[in-house]
């Protein structure tokens, strides 16, 4: 079966993003990420699996560009969660704030960031826990711990056992 040729601009959707994040997390778990980013062999593996699984032809730069965009989007999302002017809607999984706070944030942002802020305001962020695991991680452990992006895939029982065992 012939695969479609690569377009000048890659078209991303929720399925592609979710699969890319899954592949990135696998490479991170396999130790293929250093402090400066993913190793060359990780990108090669990610690219091959991504293209085969989704029957697309993207080059490494398009995959890396999407990774960088997801990272920037997650940092923006996280900055809203951490901003004292914003609250958190646990049910809808998105930051909340009075309109004037959103307007101030948007007024100081570039046009692309304004667009992203509006998306976050309306819809939150897809894959936020997985992105937190990929880009954030736990900042501290203990009585005053805070976790960036939550603790993905950890049940309350295991968390209680961990805390009880070590603290």
Interval 82-133: pLDDT, tens? 998 999 999 999 999 999 999 999 999 999 999 999 999 999 999 999 999 9
Of the pLDDT bands very low, low, confident and very high (cuts 50, 70, 90), residue 36 is: confident
Counting residues of the chain whose pLDDT is more than 90, the rounded percentage is 72
Would you say residue 38 has pLDDT above 90?
A: yes
Of the pLDDT bands very low, low, confident and very high (cuts 50, 70, 90), residue 161 is: low
Give the three-class secondary structure for 137: strand
Determine the pLDDT at residue 67: 98
Would you say residue 147 has pLDDT above 50?
A: no
CA dihedral angle for residue 75, residue 124, residue 33, residue 19, rounded to 10 degrees: -150
Q: Which of 124, 103, 123, 125 is nearest to 114 (CA)?
A: 103
Determine the pLDDT at residue 58: 96
Residue the block writes with tokens 């997390």 = 25
Of the pLDDT bands very low, low, confident and very high (cuts 50, 70, 90), residue 166 is: low
Specify whether the CB–CB gap between 97 and 145 falls below 8 A.
no
- Measured in whole angstroms, how far is the alpha carbon of residue 32 from the centre of its chain? 18
What average pLDDT is seen over the chain? 84
Would you say residue 144 has pLDDT above 90?
A: no
């Amino acid at each position: 079966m012939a695969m479609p040729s690569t377009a000048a601009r890659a078209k991303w959707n929720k399925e592609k993003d979710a699969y890319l994040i899954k592949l990135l997390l696998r490479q991170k778990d396999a130790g293929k990420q250093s402090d400066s980013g993913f190793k060359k062999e990780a990108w090669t593996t990610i690219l091959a699996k991504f293209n085969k699984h989704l029957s697309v032809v993207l080059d490494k730069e398009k995959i890396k560009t999407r990774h960088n965009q997801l990272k920037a989007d997650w940092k923006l999302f996280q900055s809203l969660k951490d901003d004292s002017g914003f609250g958190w809607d646990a049910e809808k999984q998105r930051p909340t704030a009075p309109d004037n706070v959103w307007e101030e944030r948007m007024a100081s942002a570039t046009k692309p960031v304004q667009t992203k802020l509006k998306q976050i305001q309306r819809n939150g962020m897809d894959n936020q826990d997985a992105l937190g695991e990929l880009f954030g991680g736990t900042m501290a452990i203990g009585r005053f711990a805070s976790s960036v992006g939550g603790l993905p895939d950890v049940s309350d029982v295991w968390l209680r056992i961990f805390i009880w065992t070590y603290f």
